[in-house]
Structure 1
């Protein structure tokens, strides 16, 4: 079982390295790692389990965050209509996105970043993501709102990009043109 001790912190080289594609079909080892990543995210949202194992709550996790440089992400998040997006995905890729932007009013956080980075993180309002599920099925997800932001955040990790790289350094709370504000 993954714990907070398995998550590398800001400054670790794996967080700035472009992750390698996973050979498909995925090996048993890759499958097991991705399954554990998804279980971590699910467990971290359960207050009793999180307290018992000292897990910081998260809604997404990318393999580089556990020092595995492979293109794998786990997401467990509800949208504004309470629809659950719970996926372990191999080789996720954003294949299209909107011109419109969105951002979380509260800003973004990250399990690998302990200190706060205040500011708005501009994201695409809508994205289409493809990849392969834990069950080995090709998937195509059309996402908006919080799920779209989470998938973009996790896919950024696969490319060595941190959420705070997107924050306007001169004016972190500058209004983002043509953007929808998402409350969380």
Structure 2
């Protein structure tokens, strides 16, 4: 018999799987769907716990009348992927694999905020995303994060996307067997 699972357990497993699929260059629709499912659960848990999450901060920067879940997470991609009742013959245009990057990042950041630790998949994705998008780093954290990012992913922001993802894949594979990372108290198992 399997152990009981909490909502956070399920979200962690979905998000870790999404990140592995992402770095394996597997179907971005599946990655997006898993990431959106995980994000939604983590977001609700952060809100209920009063955690100042990245999603909460993001909501503060949205255009008046826009909703993070409705207008950015669900629409148009997630709704198209999971519903056929309103448009059974619909066609989706404009979906790029890069659409999942920010969603994965939000879910990872929120998970780390509520849990205080995370699987190696989350740690590598977080560092990869910030290395690829240094403009997203808060100025009070920039020096430390950029130094860490440059050690693992030197000059990654200037590389083509395929090479960026390949470097992320390699870093994840290395981290998954690195005893120092695995034994760090900030690391927890994904599954």
TM-score (normalised: structure 1): 0.29
Q: Which has the higher helix share?
A: 2
Instruction: Name the structure with the higher strand share.
Output: 1
- TM-score, with structure 2 as normaliser: 0.28
Computing the radius of gyration over CA atoms, which structure comes out larger, 1 or 2?
A: 2
